[in-house]
Amino acid sequence: MSKEKWLESLEAPLVFSIPLLFAVPLYILGFLTEVSGDYVLYTIYIASSIFLTRYNGRSLAEIGLTRKGLLSSLGNSLAFVAAFSVARFTVADLKLTQGVYSLEVVANNLFHWSLSGLGQEVLFRGLILFSFNRWKGWKVALLVSSVLFGLIHVQRYQSLSGIFYVSIAGVAWGWIALKTKNIVGTTIAHSLFNFLYAFMLVS
């Protein structure tokens, strides 16, 4: 028997905040680097989101981890990445980072940013978005998941404008996830986006 919808929805932000409360002091004290912190945090996010979903008697398809709707989710998500890329290339002089000339560096970054994309999608567009959608509807679900998605990027962007733009991306991917009931496509596109704009291309 599933728990009450409001309780499921309140549990979801705890999956976001509790690991973060432990990780931030370890990062400040130097026990975790940005990369190792991401590995720890996003692994916890993935495992906790899946565990909580199953614990609450729900299938993984109810947080978008399903083959159904994959093509629509992937197509729309890649279209968003393409639109962003056109805008970015129009306003910024982008070039390849020096790291692309080392296969080991490329492989490490591909794994790092793919794990980041997966962790963020499973938590924000999976657990949080769909649990709040069941409880309060799509508007509240989009708002909560996108704001929390923006907050996880505070350390990286350290500006209100950067957090705002990340939150807008969260709205776009959240809308796609709600429409397609699938986060596999958004995860692939998000991981590609991370790899391109956090590693391969620099301004």
Residues 20, 175, 111, 37: what is their CA dihedral angle, to the nearest 10 degrees? -10
Give the total residue count for the chain: 203
Write the pLDDT tens digit of every residue in 169-185.
999 999 999 999 999 99
Residues 151 and 24: beta-carbon distance below 8 Å: no
Cα–Cα distance for residue pair 146/125, rounded to 1 Å: 9
pLDDT at position 46, please? 97
Is the whole-model pTM more than 0.75?
Answer: yes
Measured over the CA atoms of residue 71, residue 133, residue 140 and residue 147, the dihedral's sign is negative
pLDDT at position 93, please? 83
- Give strand ranges (E) for the chain: 95-96, 201-202
Q: Higher pLDDT residue, 141 or 23?
A: 141
Indicate whether 22 pLDDT > 60.
yes
Write the pLDDT tens digit of every residue in 71-117.
999 999 999 999 999 998 898 888 899 888 899 999 999 999 999 99
Cα–Cα distance for residue pair 14/56, rounded to 1 Å: 15
Indicate whether 192 pLDDT > 60.
yes
Write the pLDDT tens digit of every residue in 113-157.
999 999 999 999 999 999 999 999 999 999 999 999 999 888 776
Q: Which residues contact 101 (CB under 8 A, 6 or more apart)?
A: none
Cα–Cα distance for residue pair 120/31, rounded to 1 Å: 22
Indicate whether 163 pLDDT > 90.
no
